[in-house]
Structures are given as C-alpha cells and as structure tokens.
Structure 1
Amino acid sequence: MNGALFLLTVNFLIAQLFCVFFLVISRRSRIPAAGRWFAAAFAVASLSAIFEVVIRYADFDRLASFGAFSSVLSALLMIRVGLGRLYAVPSNVMVMTGFLGASLTLNLMIYDLPRGTFYHSLGYQLPFAIAELICAAAIYQSGRRETADRILIGLLLLTAANFVSKIYFSVKFSGGSTAQSYLSSVYALVSQSLSAVLVVSTGLTLLAVIVVEIMDDAKANSEIDPLSGLFNRRGFNERVKQVLARPMSAYPHCVVLCDLDHFKAVNDTYGHAAGDQVIMSLGRMLREHAPPEAICARFGGEEFAVFLPSTGETTGYLFAQGLRNSFSALAFEGLPDAVRLTASFGVCALDAAGDPIVDAINGADAALYDAKKSGRNRVNRTGRAAAANLEEWQAQA
C-alpha cells in the first residue's frame, strides 16, 4: 500500500469515527437534526475513499471518479444543511439542488480531459471551493461570533482556499494524466495529507460548536425554575451581577419582592396541582408585564423577585402596584371561578455603585414582611416600612 492509499484509508476511518461521534452527541443537543446531518455528511464523504481505491484496482475509472467527486460535494452540501439547522439559517433547497446538478454535469464533461490541465482542475476543484464558501457564509449570516464560530468560519475559508490552490498546484506539479496515475503521484500524497488535516480540524470544530451549545443549554436550564419559567435564585444573581458590572450602569436600580398571600391554604384546600397553576400564572404575568431589561425570578415556594435596572424606588413602587392589581383580578385553572388571590410586595432601591445587591434584597424583604404584617395585598417601600416600624415602636413605648 503506497502513501496515498494509506491516507485514503485513514481518511475513511476518521470520517466513520466522526459519523459515530455526531450521532452520539446529537442525542444531547437541543437541535439533534444538525448532528444527524453532520453524521450523514461524514458517512457520505467516507465513500470517496472507497471510490478512489476502486480507481486504483478496477477498470471502471469514469464511474468511480464520478462517485468520488459526487460523494465529497454531496457531503459538503449536507454540512450546509446541518449548519442551517444549527445556526437557524435555512438552506435554499432549489439553489443547492441546482448547484449540485450543474456540478455533477460539469464533472462528467471534464472527465476526458487530462488531469494535469488547467480546465480539468478548474472544473473539478471549483465546486468544492464554492460549497465551502456557502457553508462559511451561512455561519457569517447567522450573526454568531463566539470563538468556536470564528474558528469554524476560518477553517471553512481555509479549506476553500485549499481547493482553489489545487487548481494551480495540480497543473504545476502534475498529479498525473489519469486517475490511476494521480493516486501514485507525490502530489496525491501531499494533497491527501492536507485534506486529512483539514477534515479533522473541521470535524473537531463542528463537534466543539455543538458541545458548547449543549453546555450553554445545560447552564441555562440550571438557572431556570421549571414551574414558573423564570430564573431561579442562582440565575437571578448571575444576571444581576452582569448588570452591575457594566461600566456605565445607571443608578439607582430597584428590587421588588413578591409573596403570595395565604398560598398554603390554596394547596391545602384545592391541591398542589392548583397551586402549581397559580405559580405558573404569576410567572407568566411577570414575563408579560415586566420591562424587557428586567430580571424576573422565583426564589422558591411562593416568593418571587424582579430586578429593575436603572429604575428608582418610586417607579418600582408603581410597577409593583400594577402587578398587585393585575394579579388580584386573575382567575386560575383548578380553582373556583369566584376565587381570587392576592399578593404582597416589598420595594427597595440600590442607590449607588458598591452597594451590595443583598442589601437591596434584604431591604425589599423587610418591606415585604411589613406589608404582610400590615394586612397583606399591599405594596410597601423600604422607607415606608421603616416608618411603620418606628410608629409601632413608639406606640409600644
């Protein structure tokens, strides 16, 4: 076995391994179709190695050469479909089908030309280069610019440049005038080696993109409360930390805490399924009523929190009053139509950079506690809570 045939065997095995890897990892992905398309692409691409071995040992060069070309080009277009699923940039089926048909027709037309000529090299390599550029354009069009995305774009462009360079080098260094003589040439050894490096690099980067997507989804899911659909306390703290870390973060900010009134009685009287419906309804109401930049969370049980960036305490108080009025008018699945529930709110502002967010949360919690103690179904601000506590202390004195 000469060097070129050895590399063809290696390329075939590598492609099969990538096929298995993508099938396995697609089961964990949020977009499993993308991984399946990539797996299919590497499986189809591996057929080119078989066809090139057939060229070496069989007499039907034309069919085998056409099979090698069509399998690689089809694989590249399948990768484009997979990228379209992964990056939400759908491929145009009619355009891709037309491009594939035109490329295959061109390949049949140039077969009888000697392999060392410019026109044969141009007709053979150019479709591959265009397919690689189409894949790179899809990622660029998506607008995603994470490190793995940039690397993948770079590799696709580099591979396209490699196909273009082969137009020149196959003529300059002559890979042979026939398909069989090409496989025995030094140029074929170099070309197959470089192709192997690019295939492995592109495959690993595609795997990295999917793994990063899976990790991001896992992190996001770990920060989401499954019942309300809002952030949990961890997700709330992480998002608030990002806001407070902004160099131009405009103070004050505002924290609103909410606690459902007599929620235990709902679970005890109507069941936990009805209680879950109340939690889901409040979560939906917060998402619909909160400003786009607000961070809404369920801290646990029947306690909720809203962080309002660049919002003063008075505006936060008015926002909480609106929530209180809206919630008290809601009807809930699993509860009698006549039953209405209420909630109490505490509001506290974070006035200056350097003030810990926990202080604002504790302040809102104190105001919420005062609202509960003062009769529920009301909104209290930190200042009003402090004043109420002072009046109570004076009365007791």
Structure 2
Amino acid sequence: MSGAGFLLAVNFLIAQCFFMFFLAVSARSRNRVAARWFAGSFAVASLSAIFEFLIAYVPPVRLWALLAFASMLAGMFMLRVGIGHLYSLKTNRTVLAGIYLCFVALGAFIYDLPRGTLQHALPYQTPFAMALGMSAWAAWRAPVKSFVNRALVVLLVATSLHFILKGFAAVIAGAGATAKDYLGSPFALVSQSMGAVLIVAVGLMLLCVLVLEIVADEKVNAEVDPLSGLLNRRGFDNRVDALMAQSGPHSILISDLDRFKSVNDTYGHQGGDAAIRAFGEMLKATAPEGALVARIGGEEFVLFLPRTGKEAALLFAHALRATRSVSPVPGLPSTVRVTASFGVAEIGRNEPLRFAMRRADDALYAAKNAGRDCVREAEAPAVVLEVFKQAN
C-alpha cells in the first residue's frame, strides 16, 4: 500500500470514529438533530475512501470516481444542514439539494478533461470549497458569538480555502494521468495528509461546541428544582452574590405554603406536588425582571428583589399572598385553596445576606403565629444586631 493509500485508510477510520462520537453525543445533547447530521456527514463522506480504493483496483473506474466525488460532497452538504440545526438557522434543503445535483453533474462533465490541469483540477475542487464556505457563512451568522463558534468559522474557512489550493497543488505536484493513477501520485500524499489534519480539527471543534452545551445544560439542571421549575438552593447561592454587589436597596422575601402537611395527608404527595408546582409557576410569572426566585426547602421559597426597598417589597408580597389565596391549584378540588405566608426584610447597608435571610425567616414565623395567610415585615437590622450581641 502506498503512503497515500495508508492515509486514505487513516482518514476513513478517523471519519468512522467521529461518526460514533457524534452518535454518542446526540443521546445527551439538546441539539441531537444537529449531532446526528454531523454523524451522517462523516459517515457518508468516509465512503469516498472506499470508492478511491475501488478506483485503483476494480472496474468500472468512472463509476467509482463519480461516487467518490459525490459521497464526499454529500457529506459536506450534510454538514451544512447540521450547522443550520445547531444554530437554529433556516435552511432551504431544496435549494441545497439543487446545488448539490448541479455540482455532481459538473463532476461528471469534467471527468474526461485532462488531469493535472487547471481546467480539471479547479472545477473538481471548487464544489468542495463552496460547500464548506456555505457552512462557514452559516456559522458566522449564528446568534452565538462565543470563542468556540468563531474558531469553528475560522476552521471551516481554512478548510474551504485548502480545497482551492489543492486545485493548484494537483497541477504542480501531479495528480496522475487517470483517476486510477491518483493513489500513486505525489499529489495524493499531500491531499490526504492535509485532509486528515483538517478532518480532525473540524470534527473536534464541532464536538467541542456540542459538549460545551451539554456541560452548560448539566450545570443548569443541577441548579434547578425539577418540581417547581425554580432555582434550587445551589442555584440561588451561585447567583445572589452578583446581585448583592449592585447598588441597593435590596429586599428578601421568604415564603412558606400554609398547612402543607395537611395537603399531603389529605390529597397525597401528588396533591402536595401540585401545590408546589402551582406556587412556583405563580412566583416565576410575577417576579420582577432581574429577581431571583428559588425553592430552598420542602415548601419554602425565597425571592431576592434587587434595587427594591421594603415598601415595594411589602406591596409585592401582599399581592402574591392575595393571588395565592384566591387561586385554585390544578390537580386539587376546585374549592381547595392553598395559602402562603410571607416574611419580608430589606437588606441593611453592609449587612450579610445570611443575617437578612434570618430576619425574613423570623418575620415568616411571626406571620405563621399570626394565623397564616399574611405578610409580616422583619425587624430592622440594628434591632437584630443588638439582640445578637446581647445573646453572645
């Protein structure tokens, strides 16, 4: 086997590895359709390696040459469709299919032209360059402007341009007098080695995009309470410091569903879950922009209201309480109402968040002791600090 033949076999194995990698990633990725298109792209493009071997050893040569050209080109067009799915871009597949068929017809038309000449080499390589150029343009138009996205664009452009350079390299190095002579030509070694590097680079960058999305999704899932749809305690803690650093005043609301144990005992855990879900949906729908809303316990919720003083926070808490007290809970009898109690505290200047939350929690207990379904304002920070000093 020649050096070019060995590299052709290596490229085939690399493409098959990426085919399996993308299929595996598609099981976890939210862009599973894009991942499957990428898998198909590498699988189809890798068929060209098989056809290249058949050209050298099995007639009819023309058929294998056209299939090698068509399969490589098809893989590149599938890559363009996958990138469209990856970045949620509108893709006219009918137009792409029409362009693809025109390029395949061009490949058939130039087959009999003298090899090793620009008349044959440039028309042969240009469809590949244009196909990858379309993928680069699609990635450039993507709403995501991350470093990885831009690196992908650069790689796609470089890969596209390398096909144009291969047209000139075929003339300079010599691509053989016939298609059957390709594997033994000096150009084949250059072509396959450059292709191996770029296949790996593009494949790894696409995998990087998908894997980073999976990691980001896993992080979000680890910080979200699946029942209420709100942040959990970890998600709240990871975000609140950035809001605390903004200029105040800030306020904190802590809320608890009333007689939740009774709801569970009467209607089962499904009824309790329905109450939590309904309350979480209400908080998410009514929370001001920029507010943090989290479920931090079984039936306990917290709202951090940035740039909100206690008067506005109290009004908001009263509105929440009133809405909850008159709203039915989907999944429970229409006459059943699950109310909530609230404790509200404005965070003092330079006051640690845990102290403010403690004050809001004490106010919540005061609301519970006052009969539930009500709102109570926390003691001022100075009062709590004085009690804390006396206790110690």
Is the pair's TM-score, using the shorter chain for normalization, greater than 0.5?
Answer: yes
2:14 aligned residue:
14
Report the residue type matching 1:143 in the other structure.
P
Q: Which whole-Å CA distance do the structure 1 matches of 2:356 and 2:42 have between them?
A: 55
1:314 aligns with 2:304: no
1:278 counterpart (275, 280, 286): 275
2:353 counterpart (354, 357, 364): 357
Pair 1:336–1:59, CA change in 2 (3 A):
closer
TM-score by length of 1: 0.91
Calculate percent identity across the aligned residue pairs. 49
1:394 aligned residue:
none
Q: 1:19 touches 1:40 (CA, 8 Å); kept in 2?
A: yes
1:373 counterpart (366, 369, 374): 369
Displacement of 1:262 after TM fit? 1.3
Aligned length: 385
Q: Which whole-Å CA distance do the structure 1 matches of 2:225 and 2:380 have between them?
A: 31
2:254 aligned residue:
257
Moved over 4 A (4+): 384-388
1:83 aligned residue:
83
1:340 aligned residue:
337
1:129 aligns with 2:129: yes
Displacement of 1:64 after TM fit? 1.3
Q: What's the CA shift string for 1:99-144, capped at 9, x where partnerless?
A: 1111111111111112222232221111111211221222222221
* Pairing of 1:104-123 with structure 2 (within 5 A): 104-123=104-123
| RMSD over equivalenced CA pairs, Å | 2.1
Q: Which whole-Å CA distance do the structure 2 matches of 1:193 and 1:385 have between them?
A: 70
Q: Which whole-Å CA distance do the structure 2 matches of 1:221 and 1:50 have between them?
A: 43
Pair 1:54–1:120, CA change in 2 (3 A):
same
Displacement of 1:385 after TM fit? 10
Displacement of 1:351 after TM fit? 4.6
* Pairing of 1:168-247 with structure 2 (within 5 A): 168-244=168-244
Q: Which whole-Å CA distance do the structure 1 matches of 2:380 and 2:372 have between them?
A: 15
Displacement of 1:53 after TM fit? 0.9
1:382 aligned residue:
378
Q: Which moves more between the two structures, 320-329 or 268-277?
A: 268-277
2:294 aligned residue:
297
Q: Which moves more between the two structures, 291-300 or 273-282?
A: 291-300
In structure 1, list runs of 5 or more residues that go unmatched. Answer: 391-397
SS in structure 2 at match of 1:300? coil
Pair 1:384–1:355, CA change in 2 (3 A):
closer
SS in structure 1 at match of 2:327? coil
Pair 1:128–1:351, CA change in 2 (3 A):
farther
Q: Which whole-Å CA distance do the structure 1 matches of 2:225 and 2:55 have between them?
A: 59
Q: 1:370 touches 1:385 (CA, 8 Å); kept in 2?
A: no
1:24 aligned residue:
24
Q: Which whole-Å CA distance do the structure 2 matches of 1:319 and 1:23 have between them?
A: 49
Q: Which whole-Å CA distance do the structure 2 matches of 1:251 and 1:171 have between them?
A: 70
Q: Which whole-Å CA distance do the structure 2 matches of 1:149 and 1:192 have between them?
A: 26
1:48 aligns with 2:48: yes
SS in structure 1 at match of 2:296? strand
Q: Which moves more between the two structures, 66-75 or 171-180?
A: 171-180
1:148 aligned residue:
148
Pair 1:376–1:49, CA change in 2 (3 A):
same
Q: 1:251 touches 1:351 (CA, 8 Å); kept in 2?
A: no
Pair 1:230–1:115, CA change in 2 (3 A):
same
